[in-house]
Structure 1
């Protein structure tokens, strides 16, 4: 059986250490009983330790060479290999609308996109585990006030409890990546309502962290200009932008601070509309 050649354009770094593979597979044990969807199984180094857990299991793989390899090595997966791009999948069809665990040695070039997609399907994914770049894992788990705290931190922590489980060195991969990796587990918290306009929340978070060196008032000013344009208003929001909270930088705000700020912006826009 011919091994699969790692492809740089797919962000493939095949894990070759069996102890690490088993440790990653064991991270799903905290999510008992749920079906499992593995993203990017490659040659199945993680798959081989997931299959004995006797869960309903599917794998999604975009690389045709890996798909052929998996079909030959794991015939029990034959009807559960999805040859597709995970980012384009309609996940509500994966297990007939039933919740499932998402796991994998995620391709490094799309790891953040995978988690943003997970947020869109959070009602179906109560648990997510897997391996990503160490830097991304640190951002996901970061607390307010740290340099790593950012967009991923806020948007993920609103809906999930994030655990940084362990670090993985480059030498256990083929080819070795230029960065360290880390394994994380995300578990849905009890929040079912963002408590604000979620679309606006994402805009506020992304706008402010994309200019993270500025005080909040500086990065929000162009956002208000955009909101005015979208609603046909010509309002002056100078008084709103002068409040004390907005003299801080985005990494100093908690998740709840961002929710409260989003509500305040919604209220400000409504008040301005009522005056016109």
Structure 2
């Protein structure tokens, strides 16, 4: 089999270190909650090799790259329909996975946020995710309140997942090497089914807060509700990065109550 050529427009950087690949696969640890895993962007299968050795998991692969798909089809003929040539962002999870499942991958950096929001949108199904991201994105996902990296993505993900920054990966372990360091994180679904507030309003409040993160929430949240409806609640005097997920839930409850007043 001829090797697959990495394609810049797909953001492909193939991992070459088998030790790191094994470490990523071994980071799938919550298998009492699922027995199926979907690998996104397997490339030439360095993660897949280790995934397919795990007897506790039924592995699915999806790659948008037709060249990779044909390479993998020849390498893993036993997969059959579990090898998918398609766009992960357009994949209908419910059509393939009747139960909860996990996601793993060395993700293309140019669609990192879209991948994470796809997982968020399917949080009822995706109970664990182990993935390689650009280091800055990984730090942003895992950042606690008060950290300069803490932002919209941090709050939304941490509302529904426990996030662990597992380890950093140097550029030289990829072909071609990216210009930045990478990092592996793990998302583990928490017990929150729905937030204790209007979730659509929660998203609006969080986005408004971080869209003007240097301003107090009194100024930032004015994009959601008029200032003249705000009271002297302490949250309005803080900046978005100072609020935890629970704080944002309470702020959303308060904003909702104020908006309903005559």
For Structure 1 versus Structure 2, the TM-score category normalised by the shorter chain is over 0.9
| RMSD over equivalenced CA pairs, Å | 1.3
- Deviation, 1:222, is 2.2
Rounded Cα–Cα distance in structure 2 between residues aligned with 1:241 and 1:132: 41
Matched, 1:81 2:83: yes
Report 1:138-217 matches (<5 A): 138-217=139-218
Instruction: Provide the secondary structure at the position in 2 that maps to 1:6.
Output: coil
Matched, 1:40 2:41: yes
The structure whose residues are more often helix, as a share, is: 1
Matched, 1:61 2:51: no
Instruction: Provide the secondary structure at the position in 2 that maps to 1:29.
Output: coil
The CA deviation string for residues 49-84 of structure 1, in whole angstroms up to 9 with x for no partner, is 000102211111100010010011111123211111
Matched, 1:258 2:245: no
Check the 8 A contact 2:229/2:258 in 1, yes or no: no
Q: 1:269 aligns with which of 243, 259, 262?
A: 259
Rounded Cα–Cα distance in structure 2 between residues aligned with 1:239 and 1:197: 18
Check the 8 A contact 1:4/1:66 in 2, yes or no: yes
Query: How many residues align structurally?
Result: 260
Rounded Cα–Cα distance in structure 1 between residues aligned with 2:105 and 2:73: 18
Check the 8 A contact 1:21/1:49 in 2, yes or no: yes
- Deviation, 1:243, is 3.2
Check the 8 A contact 1:221/1:241 in 2, yes or no: no
Rounded Cα–Cα distance in structure 2 between residues aligned with 1:246 and 1:14: 46
Segments of 5+ residues of structure 1 without an aligned counterpart are 225-235
- TM-score, with normalisation over the residues of structure 2? 0.95
Report 1:240-259 matches (<5 A): 240=230, 242-259=232-249
Moved more, 73-82 or 156-165: 73-82
- The residue aligned with 2:134 is 133
Rounded Cα–Cα distance in structure 1 between residues aligned with 2:200 and 2:11: 30
Check the 8 A contact 2:25/2:47 in 1, yes or no: yes
- The residue aligned with 1:90 is 92
Q: 1:71 aligns with which of 57, 70, 73?
A: 73
Rounded Cα–Cα distance in structure 1 between residues aligned with 2:2 and 2:212: 48
Rounded Cα–Cα distance in structure 2 between residues aligned with 1:108 and 1:31: 27
The CA deviation string for residues 20-68 of structure 1, in whole angstroms up to 9 with x for no partner, is 1111111113434521111111111110000010221111110001001
Matched, 1:22 2:22: yes
Check the 8 A contact 2:218/2:227 in 1, yes or no: no
- TM-score, with normalisation over the residues of structure 1? 0.91
- Deviation, 1:87, is 0.7
Rounded Cα–Cα distance in structure 1 between residues aligned with 2:139 and 2:46: 25
The CA deviation string for residues 78-102 of structure 1, in whole angstroms up to 9 with x for no partner, is 321111111111111122x211011
- The residue aligned with 1:7 is 7
Instruction: Provide the secondary structure at the position in 2 that maps to 1:93.
Output: helix
Segments of 5+ residues of structure 2 without an aligned counterpart are none
Check the 8 A contact 1:132/1:183 in 2, yes or no: yes
Rounded Cα–Cα distance in structure 2 between residues aligned with 1:110 and 1:11: 8
